[in-house]
Chain A
């Protein structure tokens, strides 16, 4: 769309036609006190492009950018390398679309991309069907809970959250459940070398619609999904597996294979980048095709046209709110199109072997880091198993230690005190994430900085 500015002559011609004296008279229906007069408080007046650029540069200098530090932050957002080719390909004109690019007659490119994306997510998660994406991992997590409630036809009301579910995901679920009749049963996390699967299983009862388990969990540990799935199914509940690090699935068994009924997660690691925390990419899939009509979101399907040629359409749209709002499976009827495209392009470039190699490298470097940090006096490794993120216990308040280390350009990790505010028992815990972008030098930098600060 071109931007065509109006002249005063244009404006008065239009006002003449509609019989209004001036622009303000178009707003007479809005009470005087509700109208804005004068500048907005706290918002500076306009400035030139060059002045704004200078100002933004000054502000950005105050940041410690991920690329300028020894960087070990994870907890649901991971610093991976996104090949330059991804950025190039997603900007090609063929992928530029209208606002709602779903009319099959004209949007075959977009629809085929979504179809390929769904295939990749379904295979990654070990599931039958994936949707065209959701806003982010936490939203997808709530949507899964809402879907489990539908599958139980509203007859089961209890939602059992694992204590080792990302606390932000748990918060989103609790917020959304304020508007439904679901009763959210959460639990505090416990600092044990392996997740407390027994404790979680003991909380499942006949009134449970679903159990929500993160895999790998927030502390980087690996719950026994197959066992939890069996226990959930025995009580007629669904198992929802949440994954915040898709690269892990290049190395560990997929949740679908292990019996999870709904698998959701964050796709940011593949192709998206940290983006200051968003936009991100929610992934959503179901293991059994029989649940497909209960799914939220857009679904792209393959079909044939009148001439028998292969084509793509959005399908099962009656689940969506533009058909029957009051009966829709979700009030989200969009997807993260650009992030999904980036994911799909990056995944295509990696291929199955590439993903496995990337996962192997992540795990190798994480093992190096864990071994090195465990040698630091005052540092104890918690996990008995992990993929690329693990928890260490420090002799001191991890939150303060992280702050101290930033002064040396070391972003040491996410302190559990920050993740679980108010939970004093976790204050010495630090979550350390390692990816293929971490160098052995970075690991050494972190270890020596910790040696110094803990001495």
Chain B
């Protein structure tokens, strides 16, 4: 399994033809207490860079963009009752959605863990 990162602070795990997407520990730290996550409908086809989900903290809302183009296959229902999972386990239990990958070349230009760490250090 390979893990990639975007400069929008999303992580993508690639397993076979499926990518799991969430937001990074750095992102949840910046947002503060997360009170709501709006997830896309299963079956939605989304282009890379388009709004896929929304995370809300008490006084702010941020869009989460699709890191690659594909179709939403599954969403994390646990976030509906417990959005704080994004704070407590951002890069594991707090995942957002799983999507098809299609063209593998989409991962070119994304960061690995080390590159993402130095990207955050420079912010």
A contact residues vs B (CB 8 Å cutoff): 153, 293, 317-318, 323-324, 327
Contact = CB atoms under 8 A, between A and B. Distances in A.
B41 A318 contact: no
Given A293-B36, A318-B56, A323 B61 contact: yes
Nearest to B80: A290
Interface residues of B, number: 9
Contacts of B104: none
Given A323-B59, A327-B54, 12 more contacts: A153-B41, A293-B36, A293-B38, A317-B58, A317-B59, A318-B36, A318-B56, A318-B59, A318-B61, A323-B60, A323-B61, A327-B61
Contacts of A323: 59-61
B103 to A, nearest CB: 27
Contacts of A318: 36, 56, 59-61
A293 B37 CA distance: 11
Given A293-B36, A318-B56, A324 B41 contact: no
Contacts of B56: 318
Contacts of B54: 327
Contacts of B36: 293, 318
A153 B41 CA distance: 10
A324 B60 CA distance: 8
Interface of B: 36, 38, 41, 54, 56, 58-61
Contacts of A324: 61
Nearest to A322: B59
A25 B38 CA distance: 52
A318 B56 CA distance: 7
Nearest to A290: B80
7 contacts: A293-B38, A317-B58, A317-B59, A318-B59, A323-B60, A323-B61, A324-B61
B34 to A, nearest CB: 11
Nearest to A318: B61
A64 B103 CA distance: 76
A302 to B, nearest CB: 15
Contacts of A327: 54, 61
Contacts of B41: 153
Contacts of B59: 317-318, 323
Contacts of B61: 318, 323-324, 327
Shortest 6 CB-CB contacts between residues of A and residues of B? A318-B61, A318-B56, A324-B61, A323-B61, A317-B59, A323-B60
B5 to A, nearest CB: 25
B93 to A, nearest CB: 23
B38 to A, nearest CB: 8
B10 to A, nearest CB: 19
A321 to B, nearest CB: 12
A318 B33 CA distance: 14
A319 to B, nearest CB: 9
A293 B83 CA distance: 14
A293 B38 CA distance: 10
A323 B58 CA distance: 11
A293 B56 CA distance: 11
A327 B56 CA distance: 12
Nearest to A293: B36
A293 B61 CA distance: 13
A318 B36 CA distance: 10
Contacts of A153: 41
Nearest to B36: A293
Contacts of B38: 293
Nearest to B54: A327
B62 to A, nearest CB: 9
A324 B56 CA distance: 11
Nearest to B59: A317
Contacts of B60: 318, 323
- Name the residue in A153, A318, A327 with the highest tally of chain B Cβ atoms < 10 Å from its Cβ: A318
Contacts of A317: 58-59
A316 to B, nearest CB: 8
A129 to B, nearest CB: 15
A153 B58 CA distance: 24
A317 B56 CA distance: 10
A266 to B, nearest CB: 31
B26 to A, nearest CB: 21
A327 B36 CA distance: 15
A354 B2 CA distance: 68
A315 to B, nearest CB: 8
Nearest to B57: A318
A317 B60 CA distance: 8
A429 B51 CA distance: 53
